[in-house]
């Protein structure tokens, strides 16, 4: 399952939410930050700072790495972006709008493919285990499963879904 695309209406809502966050925290609007926010909100999947920087520089060539990094920190602090670590030392970000609810991840340790999925049975089992192992009530969690895509696993006629995108 791929990350859902953010609709134009949702992008407008998220942009407004970010502008309110920035105003509340005394941050002035800048054209570079606006370009980064716009590009990020139009992105799908899990985007790294390097990927985002390359895309933003097509529109705003003078944007620097530090500006993208600081903007992503603001987007994360405002709840519009979620930072994800998938064990390769690189932080990736995904949009956290209304259409981007809780989901888990399946990651290929060889090619880096990241698949998202939702499974009510797994969610229920996690709640049951938390309760059984001490009466915990879960407030948030991350489930990341690491493995090999069919091609990396050497399956006959195996393909890598990452190569078809």
Which tens digit of pLDDT belongs to each residue from 26-51? 999 899 999 999 999 998 788 999 99
- pLDDT at 155 (0 to 100): 87
Whether the Cβ atoms of residue 117 and residue 103 lie closer than 8 Å to each other? yes
For 32, the token pair is 């570079």
Give domain status of residue 3, yes or no. no
Tell me how many domains the chain contains.
2
For 111, the token pair is 């090619």
- pLDDT at 3 (0 to 100): 47
112 and 59 assigned to the same domain: no
Give the SS3 label for residue 116: strand
**CATH code, domain carrying 83:** 1.10.10.10
Q: Is residue 1 scored above 70 in pLDDT?
A: no
Last residue of a domain, one of 66, 95, 124: 95
Tens of pLDDT, residues 71-121: 999 999 998 998 888 877 888 898 886 656 678 888 888 887 888 788 889
- pLDDT at 5 (0 to 100): 64
**CATH code, domain carrying 114:** 3.30.1490.190
Last residue of a domain, one of 95, 117, 137: 95
The better pLDDT of the pair 104, 135 is held by 135
Give domain status of residue 27, yes or no. yes
Tens of pLDDT, residues 52-76: 999 999 999 999 999 999 999 999 9
29 and 76 assigned to the same domain: yes
- pLDDT at 70 (0 to 100): 96
Cα–Cα distances in angstroms (integers) from residue 96 to residues 16, 21, 76, 122, 147, in the given order: 14, 15, 9, 21, 25
């Amino acid at each position: 399952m791929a990350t859902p695309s953010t609709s134009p209406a949702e992008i407008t809502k998220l942009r407004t939410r970010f502008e309110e966050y920035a105003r509340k925290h005394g941050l002035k609007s800048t054209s570079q930050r606006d370009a980064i926010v716009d590009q990020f909100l139009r992105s799908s999947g899990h985007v790294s700072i390097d990927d985002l920087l390359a895309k933003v520089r097509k529109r705003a060539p003078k944007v620097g790495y530090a500006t993208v990094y600081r903007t992503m920190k603001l987007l994360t602090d405002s709840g519009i972006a979620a930072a994800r670590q998938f064990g390769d030392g690189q932080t990736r970000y995904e949009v956290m709008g209304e259409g981007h609810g809780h989901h888990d991840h399946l990651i290929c340790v060889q090619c880096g493919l990241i698949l998202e999925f939702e499974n009510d049975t797994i969610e229920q089992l996690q709640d049951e285990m938390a309760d059984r192992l001490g009466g915990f009530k879960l407030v948030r969690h991350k489930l990341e499963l690491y493995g090999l895509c069919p091609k990396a696993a050497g399956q006959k006629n195996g393909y890598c879904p990452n190569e078809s995108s």
